[in-house]
Structure 1
Amino acid sequence: MSNYISHIATVEIPVSKLDRSVNFYVDVLGVEVEFKGEKNAMLSFQSKGVPTIFLVETAAEGKSLSFANSNDGVEHSVIDFYTPSLRELHQWLQEKNVEVGPLNLNQEHGLGGFGFKDPDGNLLSACICCIKGNKPAH
């Protein structure tokens, strides 16, 4: 086991229009802009131990973050954001005209989530799950 790495520091996301994406992430995720350059921006949740988001403007339009599960063909996000208010977030994103997928809840285990897309089509996900020390909300 390596003692050199303790956690994820930042997640980098490709975007085609930096200003539009910064506005989306600030509005939808509630992050703050730590730094904004001409072609990149560092966003933060302002919470200790939580990775920052580094948006990088790129000309690779049409290529978005996601992958297909080779077992069942389901498209998966690369990033899942935790929320204790899954139903409320799902409804709020719909009201903001964000493209969202169906709400999936397992009442027996208290687990669930749904996908949503940023302006470039990057698939993100919101989930409620059992993280060490956290109990699922019902």
Structure 2
Amino acid sequence: MSHFVTRIATIEIPVSNLNNSISFYTEVLGVQTDFKGENAAMLSFHQKGVPTIYLVETKNFQQLSFNNIHSNVEHSVIDFYTPTLKDFYNWLEKKKVEVGPLNINEEGIGGFGFKDPDGNQLSACNIEHWGQ
């Protein structure tokens, strides 16, 4: 069996105000703006193998999130990695970013949700998966 797809290239995020979103993502995630057009921008972590983030301004805006029908928890479709989960959580709170509860188990593994200026549900975790 042949495998044609080898990684995620880009994550596309709908936004209502491109400039506000660029400011949020560059400040909160530390990404760099590789391209900025009239209605879209490409942001990058500048690390090999890490997907870029493509912000697309739209008038037909729909927030990125979904509810788990079993737990009624709102989930994100994007989970960002941080080795300093508690510090990142506290920093976001100080920046007045809307954050959900910080969930950490006995082994110190966990995560939390947070929202961008448009209410897109994002999350952060300190879990490194195989190959990362």
TM-score when scaled to structure 1?
A: 0.91
Shift of the 74–33 alpha-carbon distance from structure 1 to 2, 3 Å rule, reads same
* Mapping 1:112-127, distance limit 5 Å: 112-127=110-125
Instruction: Return the offset for 1:129.
Output: 1.1
Looking at structure 2, the residues matched to 133 and 122 of structure 1 have their Cα atoms a distance apart, in angstroms, of 27
Report the 3-state secondary structure (helix = DSSP H, G, I; strand = E; otherwise coil) of the residue aligned with 1:88. Answer: helix
Amino acid at match of 1:8: I
Q: Deviations over 1:28-64 (max 9, x none)?
A: 0000001000000000000000000000000124x21
Structure 2 residue 89 is the aligned partner of structure 1 residue 107? no
Corresponding residue of 1:35: 35
* Mapping 1:22-61, distance limit 5 Å: 22-61=22-61
Looking at structure 2, the residues matched to 8 and 24 of structure 1 have their Cα atoms a distance apart, in angstroms, of 22
Corresponding residue of 2:63: 64
* Gap regions ≥5 residues in structure 1: none
Looking at structure 2, the residues matched to 107 and 45 of structure 1 have their Cα atoms a distance apart, in angstroms, of 30
Instruction: Return the offset for 1:133.
Output: 6.3
* Mapping 1:80-99, distance limit 5 Å: 80-99=79-98
Looking at structure 2, the residues matched to 80 and 95 of structure 1 have their Cα atoms a distance apart, in angstroms, of 21
The root-mean-square deviation of aligned C-alpha atoms, in Å, is 1.3
Amino acid at match of 2:17: K
Corresponding residue of 2:75: 76
- Equivalences, count: 132
Q: Deviations over 1:58-115 (max 9, x none)?
A: 0124x2100000111110000000000000000000000000011000123x320000
Runs of 4+ in 1 over 3 A off after TM superposition: none
Fraction of identical pairs, as percent: 62
2:16–2:118 CA contact under 8 A, matched in 1: yes
Amino acid at match of 2:74: E
TM-score when scaled to structure 2?
A: 0.95
